[in-house]
Amino acid sequence: MASYGYIKKTSEMTKIIEQVNTISQYEVANIFIDDDNTSVEFQVLYESLEKGDSLVITSLSVFEQTLRQLEELFLKLHELNIRLIIVNEGIDTSESSSSNYFRIMLDLVQMEKVVAKQLTLKRMAKARENGIVGGRPSLAQKVIDEIIYLRKQHKKSIRQIASECDVSVGSVYKYVTQNEELNTIVSEKEEFGVR
């Protein structure tokens, strides 16, 4: 069971020294320090963590991530029973007062996802009420006809059609699939004499 520290460099050298001094008090085997704009050392640390290890940081802000982005980290720390010490917040997950920390944080992540989804749906509904339609713009019928013609008559691939019609592969796939499904339904109706 190893103990590690993690620091994110800032422009202020005194802050780095303070963080190193603070984390060193916890007898860590190694302190990983990242530059302000990278997370290379954190990736090395993340991959080094094993069951029962300890991670000492001064604040959650060193990860420079939102709660949602921290979800993967919280899951791994929880699964590996990593002792997380967040010095400035007075959190030590090995103590009974902080023992549910990961569960609480993961619950907050889930709540944040639900709230974000609800807000997005409300905004989309409001936009529709105001006549604003989201999503991809529909293609002109002339382009749709050209897509179907190139597929049926010239047996061109979806990529070739997308390139020739200057549309996305997804759009070509959508209209080709719809047309093939429609043709199947029409031929089945004709086969059974249904109009």
Which class does domain 3-111 fall in?
alpha beta
**Separation between Cα atoms, residue 60 and residue 69, nearest integer Å:** 12
pLDDT of residue 121: 92
Sequence-ordered list of residues with C-beta below 8 angstroms from that of 105, at least 6 positions apart, any chain: 67, 70, 74
Domain ranges in the chain are 3-111, 141-191
- Sheet-wide strand order for 30-34: 30-34, 3-8, 54-57, 83-86, 91-92
Global pTM value: 0.61
Q: Length of the chain, please?
A: 195
pLDDT of residue 11: 60
Interval 131-177: pLDDT, tens: 887 776 788 999 999 999 999 899 999 999 999 999 999 999 999 98
- Return the sign of the alpha-carbon dihedral for residues 83, 87, 92, 98: negative
DSSP per position, 61-100? GGG---HHHHHHHHHHHHHTT-EEEEGGGTEETTSGGGTT
**Separation between Cα atoms, residue 70 and residue 63, nearest integer Å:** 8
Where the chain has pLDDT below 70, the residues are 11-14, 136, 185-195
pLDDT of residue 195: 57
Asked whether the beta carbons of 33 and 84 are under 8 A apart, the reply is: no
pLDDT of residue 1: 86
pLDDT of residue 37: 80
Asked whether the beta carbons of 148 and 107 are under 8 A apart, the reply is: no
pLDDT of residue 15: 81
Tokens representing 23 are 């984390």
pLDDT of residue 92: 93
pLDDT of residue 13: 66
Q: How many CB atoms lie within 10 A of CB 36?
A: 9
